[in-house]
Amino acid sequence: MVVEKCQVCGNAELERILFLGYLPPVNTMRTINEHPHEQISYPAQLLYCTKCHLAQLGLIVDPMIIFPKSYPYTSSTTKILRENFAELYKECTSMIKLGPADLVVDIGSNDGNLLSNFKDGHKVLGITPEEIGKIAIERGIPTIMDYFNKQTVERVKSEYGKAKIITATNVFAHMENINEITRDVLELLAEDGVFITESHYLMPLIKTLQYDTVYHEHLRYYSLHSLKFLLESHGFEVIHAKQIPTHGGSIRVYAARKGTHRVRKTVAALLEKERPIVTEKQNLLEFKKKVVISKLKLHALLLRIKKDGKRIYGVGAPSRASTLINYVGIDDGIMESVVEVKGSHKVGKYIPGTLIPVVDESKLFEDQPEYAMLLSWHIADELMPKLREKGFKGKFIIPLPKPRIKDL
Ligand SMILES: [Zn+2]
């Protein structure tokens, strides 16, 4: 479905701020040695709404294609995510009085990582459509394995009652019909309840050139301005907001029914901070120029290495790697392999749109290529010492925001 008007406010005049070409869906990976045949791809265009300041993809791809039942993502994988949820728990329970009978509902609960923090002291319930919900159930977290919608809300209300806390982390940008979802959240929320949402944040995306987080799973890129607009239009009030480090820069927002909670100073402060970056059209148009320059700088860096006949392996195959590799035009002549941790379902497949094989991480230490490009560059500081410790002797390439070589 082509996005012809803003998904939040309905404005039909959307500005084009970036076009990364036609990209294959990030989670459809071909098996190694399968002969290449036709490959579906979708335009990756970022649009900007001057009315509510939302950035959004220009095309909504059928969720059946981008979120297959076997959707492989697990939320417990990185340290930064685990720490973030532990911190969310601490912050939330210090701000809101939460008793043992109060219900905490997590939308898009995945393997139960977030709720595992709440489960000992409170009633918890996960909602996730993916198979991975079974892992949460095994961990003792009640989980409804279904989509979050009006029917699910009715079911939760009759079986569990209304929720004191509703969380939605890293899913609020993925779901279609965001106005409907917001209404459903309000419907499920107790009168004095609080809704906490975390999403990719447009401010660091623009500041650190994270065009690689643009792919078809992410329909929207929020700022506090656009979240506030969305939430207020449904009777919510934003009561607290802050920037958090997950996914290379996210935003956490607390919202409640208007007038039920004290509004923290953090809201006005963050609005002020992001204003010049996310509300000025000229700045957003500059973003495109910076993305292009960064691509060409990465080319120049790769050219020097390949002229010397050196090998480059990629490290990590997160979704964002597919956007970077396809947009920059990296092929198997430039990057021989991408290594992934043992047991990853991605091992034995090709990076979408390429013939770059994803292989077991041990290959990096056996083959010792001269360079390893960190495709999860946003956690480079966490990754580099780990790879050194495991025995990698070469240099690191950090592709964004400023392409550079690093030697620890
Ligand atoms: Zn809008």
Q: What pLDDT, in 10s, does the model give residues 280-325?
A: 888 888 999 999 999 999 999 999 999 999 999 999 998 899 999 9
Whole-number Å distance, alpha carbon 223 to ligand 1 midpoint, is: 12
Grade residue 77 by pLDDT with cuts at 50, 70 and 90.
Answer: low
Whole-number Å distance, alpha carbon 275 to ligand 1 midpoint, is: 16
Distances (CA, A) of 49 to 219, 289, 323: 13, 19, 23
Whole-number Å distance, alpha carbon 6 to ligand 1 midpoint, is: 5
Whole-number Å distance, alpha carbon 27 to ligand 1 midpoint, is: 29
Whole-number Å distance, alpha carbon 8 to ligand 1 midpoint, is: 5
Whole-number Å distance, alpha carbon 51 to ligand 1 midpoint, is: 5
Whole-number Å distance, alpha carbon 222 to ligand 1 midpoint, is: 11
Whole-number Å distance, alpha carbon 382 to ligand 1 midpoint, is: 36
Calculate the CA 166 to chain-centre distance: 19
Grade residue 131 by pLDDT with cuts at 50, 70 and 90.
Answer: confident
Whole-number Å distance, alpha carbon 17 to ligand 1 midpoint, is: 14
Grade residue 73 by pLDDT with cuts at 50, 70 and 90.
Answer: low
Whole-number Å distance, alpha carbon 52 to ligand 1 midpoint, is: 4
Q: What mean pLDDT is predicted for residues 217-243?
A: 96
Whole-structure pTM value: 0.89
Whole-number Å distance, alpha carbon 334 to ligand 1 midpoint, is: 40
Residue 81 pLDDT > 90: no
Whole-number Å distance, alpha carbon 9 to ligand 1 midpoint, is: 4
Confidence (pLDDT) at 134: 92
Q: How confident is the model over 171-198, as pLDDT tens digits?
A: 888 888 899 999 999 999 999 999 999 9
Whole-number Å distance, alpha carbon 162 to ligand 1 midpoint, is: 30
Specify whether the CB–CB gap between 294 and 207 falls below 8 A.
no
Specify whether the CB–CB gap between 244 and 11 falls below 8 A.
no
Grade residue 246 by pLDDT with cuts at 50, 70 and 90.
Answer: confident
Distances (CA, A) of 28 to 66, 204, 319, 347: 8, 28, 10, 13
Whole-number Å distance, alpha carbon 229 to ligand 1 midpoint, is: 9
Three-state SS at 289: helix
Confidence (pLDDT) at 405: 98
User: Side-chain half-sphere of 324: how many Cα atoms within 13 Å?
Assistant: 27
Whole-number Å distance, alpha carbon 47 to ligand 1 midpoint, is: 10
Average pLDDT, the chain: 93
Confidence (pLDDT) at 284: 86
Q: Phi-psi category of 248—alpha, beta or left, where left has phi over 0 and alpha has psi -120 to 50?
A: left
Whole-number Å distance, alpha carbon 41 to ligand 1 midpoint, is: 26
Report which of 285, 210, 214, 215 is spatially closest to residue 245, judged by C-alpha positions.
Answer: 210
